[in-house]
Amino acid sequence: MDASIESRVGREVEAWLRWVPRWRPGTHRARSRLCQQCFGSPVLRAAGLDTDVPHAVQHPLAMRVKTLIEDEVETYTAQNLPLLNRELGLIELRKAAQATHPLEGLGPEFDGLDVDAPPADPDEPYLFTFEDFAPPPSADDPELQPPPLSVEEKASLRVEMRLADDYAALVGRRVCVALVEHKPRLQLAVATFVEPQVQALLADLGSTLDPHST
Ligand SMILES: [Zn+2]
Q: Is residue 44 part of a domain?
A: yes
Establish if 110 belongs to a structural domain.
Answer: no
pTM: 0.73
Label residue 130 left, alpha or beta by phi (over 0 means left) and psi (-120 to 50 means alpha): alpha
* Residue 134 CB neighbours (<10 A): 14
**pLDDT tens for each residue of 176-210:** 999 999 999 999 999 999 999 999 988 888 887 76
Residue 85 and residue 73 in contact, taking contact as beta carbons nearer than 8 Å:
no
| Tens of pLDDT, residues 24-79 | 987 666 666 889 999 999 999 999 999 999 999 999 999 999 999 999 999 999 99
Please report the pLDDT score of residue 189 as a whole number. 98
- Residue 8 counted as domain residue: yes
Looking at beta carbons, which pairs linking 21-30 to residues 24 or more positions away fall under 8 Å? 21/189, 21/193, 23/56, 23/57, 23/193, 23/194, 23/197, 24/197, 25/54, 25/56, 25/197, 25/198, 25/201, 26/56
State the amino acid at position 17 in one-letter form: L
Please give the pLDDT value at position 2: 58
Amino acid found at 118: P
Quick check: is 90 in a domain? no
Number of domains in the chain: 1
| 20-24, 143-147, 156-160: the lowest-pLDDT one | 143-147
Whole-number Å distance, alpha carbon 163 to ligand 1 midpoint, is: 27
The answer on pLDDT for 3 being more than 80 is: no
| Residue 129: per-residue pLDDT | 62
Which amino acid type is present at position 146? P
Q: How far is the CA of 89 from the centre of ligand 1 (A)?
A: 28
What is the length of the chain? Answer: 214
Model pLDDT, residue 205 = 83
- Nearest by Cα to 83 from 158, 168, 140, 169: 158
Full domain range(s) for residue 54: 4-23+36-83+168-213
Whether 122 maps to a domain, the answer reads no
Give the distance (Å) from ligand 1 centre to CA of residue 122.
56
Asked if the structure places residue 54 within a domain, the reply is: yes
Q: How far is the CA of 143 from the centre of ligand 1 (A)?
A: 39
Q: What's the CA gap between 32 and 30, in Å, rounded?
A: 6
d(CA 54, CA 149) in angstroms, rounded, equals 47
Q: Could you give the dihedral angle defined by the CA atoms of residues 38, 40, 43 and 44, in that order, rounded to the nearest 10 degrees? A: 70
- Of the two residues 171 and 4, the one the predictor is more confident about is 171
Q: How far is the CA of 8 from the centre of ligand 1 (A)?
A: 21
Q: What tens digit of pLDDT does each residue of 140-150 get?
A: 677 777 888 89
pLDDT tens-digit map of 90-128? 999 988 888 766 666 666 666 665 555 666 666 666 666
CA contacts within 13 A on the Cβ side of 37: 13
φ, ψ of residue 156 in degrees (nearest 5) = -65, -40
d(CA 61, ligand 1 centre) in Å = 9
- Calculate how far, in angstroms, residue 198's C-alpha sits from the geometric centre of ligand 1: 18
